[in-house]
Amino acid sequence: MATPPPPGSTQTSDQSENQRGYNALQQAKTGVERAQTDVKTVMDGLIRAYGGADGAAFQGLLNEWSGQVDLITRSMGEMMQTLTETGQAQSRTQGQINDFIQEAKRSSISQGAQNRLNP
């Protein structure tokens, strides 16, 4: 059985997971874009070498593939943006919670002091 995280560490863990997810997506996106560039380079050479209907069909196939890769990389970028926005929201929420706790402590201390002064 796993030991639960200490109080207050859950938010930090979530932010760390978001960052790891973002980094993984960024690496994958870069790799996909690099592969797409390599394929386009080879494609340009092959298209020049091919002639006729088979060359046109091959070019159409590679263009379709490249379009699908564009969709994938766009989706990866959107996921990265969502993770960024989630991390920012978590930071804001964590700050608001800390402010609330500090205010509650001040109110509690003030009320306790006031009760002692005015029995």
Inside any domain, residue 118: no
Inside any domain, residue 103: yes
Give the pLDDT confidence score for residue 107 in this predicted structure: 77
Q: Which domain holds residue 46?
A: 17-110
Give the pLDDT confidence score for residue 57 in this predicted structure: 86
Alpha helices in the chain (DSSP H): 10-49, 52-117
CATH number of the domain enclosing 96: 1.10.287.1060
Is residue 59 a contact partner of residue 43, using CB atoms and an 8 Å limit?
yes
Instruction: Give how many domains the chain has, as a whole number.
Output: 1
Q: What string of pLDDT tens digits covers the 119 residues of the chain?
A: 444 444 555 555 577 888 899 999 999 999 999 999 998 888 888 777 877 788 788 888 888 999 999 999 999 999 999 998 888 888 788 778 888 887 887 776 666 666 676 76
- Tell me if the pTM is above 0.85: no
Using only the alpha carbons of the chain, give its radius of gyration.
28
Inside any domain, residue 116: no
83 burial level (CB within 10 Å; 0-12, 13-18, 19+): buried
Task: List, in order, residues 6 or more apart from 63 with CB less than 8 Å away.
Answer: none
Give the pLDDT confidence score for residue 4 in this predicted structure: 44
